[in-house]
Chain A
């Protein structure tokens, strides 16, 4: 089965900022999204609505392991659509705040 991977505006913005910090991430993220097209879902479901997933990602070129590396929040409802919603570097941000999650939702709604 193949999946359609669509990026949220927040994810794109956060990924761009991370590329500036970790230049090698660009190719690794490309590879990750390619794999996501054929092997979704990745990571673990976040409890409650079962549509938000969280994956842990390392950056090999920078010798950063999964545990202390990046976190990807994505939407996957069992259909063929996978939407990476947020990406952040755990040492910088242990987890997004409620305000940041709501801002990500607002950015999505601005597309309408």
Chain B
């Protein structure tokens, strides 16, 4: 039906409004639905993934998978912002969701890269053990000289 894809949008965003107009995509319900569904789906997926990352206990051999996923999560917001940023203003509702998703993809990439190596997880474990050992010796923040 259409001769335009989301990859086209990423490659040639400047002429996008003209192309949408020329291809009469504004009267195509399927095009609108796809634009909205992609933004919706992206936001839903990234939120689910962030939930998983926070709550799952991943085995040590997942390091490579975590690193690859973090890399993918870094590239997604760039592409999303490029595509949705180039859409005309009347897609504002989809744009808003897509930008929100892009921000969350960035957060996911940050969270994944934070735990992506066994060495890092070991360091965090030692930090937890140190807090547990020293917690009675720590001052309350109200007694700290930080705010005196």
Contacts and interface: CB of A to CB of B under 8 A. Distances in A.
Same complex: yes
A109 B97 CA distance: 46
B63 interface: no
A5 B141 contact: yes
A15 to B, nearest CB: 6
Interface in A81-98: 81, 83-85, 94-95, 98
A84 B110 CA distance: 19
**Contact size range, A:** 35 or more
Nearest to B53: A47
B99 to A, nearest CB: 12
A33 B130 contact: no
Given A6-B138, A67-B103, A101 B124 contact: yes
Contacts, number: 113
Interface of A: 4-8, 12, 15-16, 26, 30, 33, 44-52, 54, 56, 67, 75, 77, 81, 83-85, 94-95, 98, 101-102, 104-106, 108-109, 111-112
Interface of B: 50, 53-58, 103, 106-107, 110-111, 113-115, 117, 119-135, 137-141, 144-147
